Amino acid sequence: MSACSEYYPTEPSSPVVTTASVPGPQSVQGLETLGQVFDARPAYFLADYEKSLGNYIVDADGNAFLDVYAQIASIALGYNNPKLIEAAKSPEMIRALVDRPALGNFPSKDLAPILQKILDFAPKGQDKVWSGLSGADANELAFKAAFMYYRAKQRGYNAAFSAEENTTVMQNAQPGSPQLAVLSFKKAFHGRLFASGSSTCSKPIHKLDFPAFEWPHAEYPYYAFPLAENEAANRAEDDRCLKIVEDLITSWPTPVAALIVEPIQSEGGDNHASTYFLQKLRDLTLKHGVVYIIDEVQTGVGATGKAWCHEWADIQPPVDLVTFSKKFQSAGYFFHDPLFVPNQPYRQFNTWCGEPARMIIAGAIAQEVTDKNLIQQVSRVGDYLFGKLEQLQSQNPDKFQRLRGQHRGTFIAWDLPSSAQRDALLKSLKQKGCNVGGCAEKSVRLRPTLTFEEKHADILLEALTQAVAELEN
């Protein structure tokens, strides 16, 4: 029996949309009420999570959508998963919710086994973890670890801070508050707080009006697809971008302490990076003493056919820090070099030091992904889906372009000729019962759960074939 049938014996067999438009009247009314206490303008519809199940999200009007967006790539196993419900009802969870500890000062007896389950799922080469609350938080905690590491290398790990450092830091001035940079990439998305926001470079609307650190953005390779037919051109593109990276590291007015990169830029348009590119970044970061951070917030936890997407590149030696959130529900960074643990306590610290309730959920997700061989399944279903999409692309070359994600599980995307057509396609798909998301200006991104199967792919493909046919040029 498949994992999905086992988890969700009563999952709908197909989408049902009964309202003339989406959002339907109940959603519209409910969102109006919600709008009085919350910014409901970005809401697509009001969801009924009690009725949602498996790969189907149900809205307030009773419409059931096949969910290929899954809360911006954040639902790992499907809605109302029985194993997660079990975890949610466990005594450990009740305590995590009602007796939330300041984990650094008064850790609970069960913290070590809870963290161990998360560590058992760590990327190859990583065996330590520090916990946070969201993707943005995870990246900023990783930046803090990187800055401390970078300065410790200069000062000596156990060297004392100078009197000047201790004085100037209280004035936000160097050398106590050093001017150090994180290098990221154009079209990158690493979150929307102030440091993560300075490394984010996907859309102006994410950043306008906020002060930012003067940090550099290199160019991320923009490949011709299909990859197999464009190897030479794409290698040249890699080399062009790598040169920009090295030039920025050596010429930026402030030292570049860390580099952060997504193995596939997700929010920025599902731009892929080759194994060659990711490995060369390792070589460059080692050459120039730069901390190498991989952001797996959206790409992590199985969706690409590996537990962590950058494992496809088998980067050697392993990268320094790997950040996670979204599908793992818990957030934080993995690492392996003990020198990334600061020389004193209370340097990487805050009241909560993570969210124990979400750590328990993460442990349960990791266990299920392993027990049910879901990564293998994602690879199989992804290859099936990709093959069908290739056909659709070849039949509609004017409306379906740059299909990407071959052999990257269900982490698949393509472009439409324009933003308006992409938006029209997503709207049409919603009306046909498929909830699908976009990214960048004109891309469609598929982000189903890990329990998405061929039968779900077929439903999506049928709706998509119709929607593409109906799409006006």
**What torsion do the CA atoms of 100, 101, 103, 107 make, to the nearest 10 degrees?**
-120
Residue tagged 């328990």 (tokens): 360
Instruction: Scan residues 151-170 and list those touching a copy of itself (CB under 8 A).
Output: 151-152, 161, 165-166, 169-170
Of 240, 253, 234, 316, which is closest to residue 283 (Cα–Cα)? Answer: 316
Q: Give residues 223-252 in contact with a copy of itself (rule: CB under 8 A).
A: none
**Residue 185 near a copy of itself by CB under 8 A:** no
- List 46, 64, 315, 429, residue binding a copy of itself (CB under 8 A): 46
Cβ-based neighbour number of residue 212 at 10 Å: 12
The DSSP secondary-structure symbol of 172 reads T
Residue span binding a copy of itself (CB under 8 A) among the ranges 221-229, 303-311, 342-350, 379-387: 342-350
- Decide whether 201 or 309 has the Cβ nearer to a copy of itself: 201
Regarding 18 and contact with a copy of itself (CB under 8 A), the answer is no
- Using the rule CB under 8 A, is 380 a contact of a copy of itself? no
- Active site (catalytic) residues: 189, 295, 326, 351
How far apart are the C-alpha atoms of 74 and 301, rounded to whole Å? 10
Q: Does 345 bind a copy of itself (CB under 8 A)?
A: yes
| 196: enclosing H helix or E strand | helix 194-199
CB atoms within 10 A of CB 21: 12
- Minimum Å gap between C-beta 235 and a copy of itself is 27
Report the interhelical angle of 356-371 vs 374-395 (nearest 10°): 80
C-beta closer to a copy of itself: residue 88 or 227 = 88
Cα gap 471→392, rounded to integer Å: 13
Residue 336 engages a copy of itself in binding (rule: CB under 8 A): no
346 touches a copy of itself (CB under 8 A): yes
Of the candidate residues 5, 21, 177, 466, the single one contacting a copy of itself (CB under 8 A): 177
Largest CA distance in the chain: 70
- Of the candidate residues 2, 351, 394, 418, the single one contacting a copy of itself (CB under 8 A): 351
Does position 89 interact with a copy of itself (CB under 8 A)? The reply is yes
Q: Is 42 in the site for a copy of itself (CB under 8 A)?
A: yes
In the complex, the smallest distance separating the C-beta of residue 254 from a copy of itself, rounded to whole angstroms, is 8
Is the separation of the CB atoms in 264 and 299 below 8 Å?
Answer: yes
C-alpha count within 13 angstroms, C-beta hemisphere, residue 273: 30
- Cα–Cα distances (Å) from 323 to 139, 357, 378, 422, 470, in that order, read 6, 19, 22, 30, 41
Applying the rule CB under 8 A, the residues between 48 and 77 that interact with a copy of itself are 48-50, 52, 57, 60, 71-72, 74-75
- Taking CB under 8 A as the criterion, the residue among 13, 18, 20, 211 binding a copy of itself is 211
